[in-house]
Amino acid sequence: MIFDTHAHYDSGAFNADRFETLEAVNAAGVGLILDPGCDARSSRMAIELAERYPFVYAAVGIHPEDLDKYDLDSYAEICELTRHPKCVAIGEVGLDYYWDASQKEEQKALFRRQIELAIELCKPIIVHDREAHQDSLELVRQYPEARGVFHCYSGSAEMARELLNRGWYLGFDGPITYKNARKALEVLEICPTERILIETDSPYLSPVPLRGKRNDSRNLRYVIEKIAEVKSLSPEEVESLTWENGKRLFGIE
């Protein structure tokens, strides 16, 4: 069975066929899905999907791109949603200097606050780090008790080594199938098999040969095949080891 540890089925891209897609994906062998929220509204939707389907779990948090939606009310709602039994992580949270580098301090303050929330609740963190590797690593160093996954990992192999030593997992998505994936493949090579998670980031990041189309969890087979090739394993082995890794990190029985 496949565990898609990062898919935004709450996204507007699924408004026309959300339930049909989730049911089809599940029937096609995707046995677990983790839907991370990006603000209070999408976090609430992720929880609602988790309530509707036994195979869906949720994470709640405020994404750095949604910094402008961060206020006392939205943060209070996030805290409230963390109490739901199917909320298994804080995410997706982090830093994004690609999208907007003008509010680095505000992004860091929000990230810090949510790292502290995760530590307090003993929940793993789903980190979004885009063009903010140095500052993300710096924050991780400041909170040695924090654990989780660097989602769609895009940093260097050197940074990956440090994260792995600190107990973090790395998430691999469609981009490992792209032609220019040299750096991500280097990271995959050094990543121990027990720390690899597979993700779609649906509706985004479709793998080759579906690049540009709406992504869903069925397309993980392309990511699984690529990992199998790099790690000299069978696709079935990759499927089962990433299934176990996801359940271990997110505490799912």
Interacting residues toward Ni ion by CB under 5 A: 201
Q: Find the shortest distance in angstroms from Cβ 22 to Ni ion.
A: 17
CB of 33 to Ni ion, least distance (A): 13
Nearer to Ni ion, 48 or 237 (CB): 48
| Closest CB 92 distance from Ni ion, rounded Å | 5
Give, rounded to a whole angstrom, the gap between the first and last alpha carbons of the chain. 14
Cβ closest to Ni ion, residue 89 vs residue 234: 89
What minimum distance in Å lies between the beta carbon of 55 and Ni ion?
A: 19
The residue number with the shortest CB distance to Ni ion is 201
Least distance from C-beta 214 to Ni ion, angstroms? 14
Residue 6 or 123 with smaller CB distance to Ni ion: 6
Beta bridge mates, 150:
127, 170
Instruction: Pull the structure tokens for residue 176.
Output: 């490992």
Nearer to Ni ion, 201 or 216 (CB): 201
| Contacts of residue 170, Cβ cutoff 8 Å, sequence gap at least 6 | 149, 150, 153, 160, 163, 164, 187, 191, 195, 196, 197
The smaller minimum CB distance to Ni ion, of residues 130 and 231, is found at 130
For residues 207, 213, 57 and 92, what is the CA-based torsion angle, rounded to 10 degrees? 80
The alpha carbon of 43 is separated from its chain's Cα centroid by a whole number of angstroms, namely 14
Strands of 140-204 (E only): list them. Answer: 148-150, 169-172, 196-198
